[in-house]
Amino acid sequence: MYKDSTRWAIPFQAQVLVTLLDRQLRPQTAPVRLVERSIYSCRYCFVENMHSDGHISVPDYKELDEIFDWAFTKKAGPIDLIVYLRASPTTCLDRVRRRNRAGEDSIPLAYLQSLHERHEAWLMQGRFGPLPAPILSHPYTGAEI
């Protein structure tokens, strides 16, 4: 994915959306459901980033936008709270390197900086309008959670 983002941008984002929707639509068996990524962060951070970097064409971007709008309005259930751990891009890169996952060895710091800016624009600056839930923001310095 990271080595040929233009080739894999659309199939990867489609798979992420399906996976996240599947998880969100499963019956809830506990009083709290905590997810690492949501369809909202997928759309407003990752899709925006790929489009801005030229990996998604304007027509494909518009099509993805319609698909995400459908998911937001027809499929995604309500969420109660967004927890935003505001980690610096260098802290994120350190965590990526430490976990040593296959395929993540080529993630550049610039990519993480761009994603950080997207998260800030979405969650802290309200660039995409009202959030789907209240936000709890907390600085994250790298300590284990």
CA terminus-to-terminus distance, the chain: 27
Report which residue type is found at 113.
Q
H-type alpha helices, 26-130: 39-41, 48-52, 58-70, 89-99, 109-119
3-state secondary structure of 135: strand
**Active-site residue among 36, 66, 120, 144?**
36
Rounded CA separation 98/74 (Å)? 39
Q: Is 120 a catalytic residue?
A: no
141 backbone dihedrals φ, ψ, rounded to 5°: -105, -5
Rounded CA separation 51/61 (Å)? 7
Residues classed as catalytic? 36
